[in-house]
Amino acid sequence: MDDDRPVALDEYPVHQAALSMKHHVSGDRNAYDRCIFHVFDHAGRALLIAGLGVYPNTGVIDAYATLRTGDRLHAVRASDALGDDRMRLEVGPLRITVDEPLRRFTLSCAADPADPDGLSFDLTWTGDFPALWEPHHLQRTGGRLTLEGRRFVQAGRCTGTITAGGERFEVTAGEWTGTRDRSWGVRPIPGEEPGRAAEARPEGFHWLWIPMRFDDRFVMVVAQEDADGYRTLNQAQLVRDGRRDVQLGWPRTEIAYRPGTRHPESAVVHLTDPTGKPLEIGVEILASSPLAVGAGYPPAGDWQHGTWQGRDWTDRRVYDLSDPAAHPLAGYGVTDHSARFTLDGRTGHGIFEHGSFGRHDPSGFADFTSTAR
């Protein structure tokens, strides 16, 4: 392949560097460009997570989908060599089609003829509110920039069908909700020696990412804290179509954990409106999906994003989540929880993404072995 040849995207006036659009402006091997979609019902029966990522400096494109139903997690993962057509978001049986940018998408996973009970879906995801920028995300380890991400988030509705394990789910707009996150920048890919940065690993990390969709508004909360509770990332914002976004102060979250774990069962998010009036959002967890199981997020042991698996690699499997001890690394990663939210008499739905490992003084966690009492 001749790397000097232009690609189709070079025809459009979108360049921001004197490079073809198939080349990243940075030579960092950890450069990435990816998305994640959540589709879930309001009764907590099913939680689908699907995403696709491009890693231009390692030449990899991969995608995944997981479906949590009961104690079963159905997973499909696919990986391949990155081609020149960056507008073709397809790997193996998984495909994302941008029908209308920032508005409507088709998500699909083709059925496996050899496994009629395997995961497949055909969904239309439609945004109900404008996409919202999240804060510019920077993270350094031992003085080195290890994460720099630009992200936006959106909430909407979904229609279509999901099939797995002999069940067929009819996805309807009134009973299902969708959220999504689109990000790019630099993010660690497995396979690189940490060097001296290993000496600077944090004592603890606490993360909350909470998109909440109500009928007439979308509320987004992000909080990242160090072991001592020092906040390094913060957002609380309300979005309504046709109106200016409203900032909701400094979010504070009270989480009720299942005893002996760091698994949230409910929470209260405290916000403040521009007049100083306190706002409280109640959180009820419906279904949970650990991203380190099936979805390829660290510290997953069987597959992680951006790793070269060879050409045309596809993997399908079903995980049993009934015994947490069978997945010991899951507790050291982030878990996405579908949730029901209440605010001033309104009921909404969204994702309560939570990760807390190591020391976190505000939660009373002293080290990596600490759990709720």
Interval 311-317 mean pLDDT: 97
Amino acid at 77: R
Please say if the pLDDT value at position 1 is more than 60: no
In whole angstroms, give the CA distance from residue 296 to residue 64: 8
Using 50, 70 and 90 to split pLDDT, how confident is the model at 305? Answer: very high
Please say if the pLDDT value at position 175 is more than 60: yes
In whole angstroms, give the CA distance from residue 352 to residue 362: 19
Residue 106 tokens, joined: 């088709």
Strands 120-127 and 144-164: antiparallel
Contact 292, 303 (CB under 8 A): no
Handedness of CA 199, 200, 202, 208 (dihedral sign): negative
In whole angstroms, give the CA distance from residue 75 to residue 330: 15
Using 50, 70 and 90 to split pLDDT, how confident is the model at 141? Answer: confident
Q: Which residues pair with 138 in a beta bridge?
A: 148
Q: What is the pTM of this model?
A: 0.96
Interval 310-330 mean pLDDT: 94
In whole angstroms, give the CA distance from residue 181 to residue 131: 9
Q: What is the pLDDT of residues 103-139, one digit of tens each?
A: 999 999 999 999 989 999 999 999 999 999 999 999 8
Looking at residue 30, what is its pLDDT? 94
Looking at residue 331, what is its pLDDT? 87
Q: What is the 3-state secondary structure of 173-206?
A: CCCEEEEEEEEEEECCCCCCCCHHHHHHCCCEEE
Q: What is the pLDDT of residues 7-34, one digit of tens each?
A: 999 999 999 999 999 999 989 999 999 9
Contact 271, 251 (CB under 8 A): yes
Looking at residue 197, what is its pLDDT? 64
Q: What is the pLDDT of residues 144-173, one digit of tens each?
A: 888 999 999 999 999 999 999 999 999 999
Residue the block writes with tokens 């089609």 = 97
In whole angstroms, give the CA distance from residue 292 to residue 295: 6
In whole angstroms, give the CA distance from residue 104 to residue 123: 11
Phi, psi of 131 (to 5 degrees): -65, 145
Contact 105, 203 (CB under 8 A): no
Using 50, 70 and 90 to split pLDDT, how confident is the model at 194? Answer: low
Nearest to 306 by CA among 137, 184, 187, 180: 187
Per-residue CA distances from 30 to 54, 85, 185 (Å):
11, 20, 8
Q: Is 10 helix (H, G, I), strand (E, B) or coil?
A: helix
Chain mean pLDDT for the chain: 94
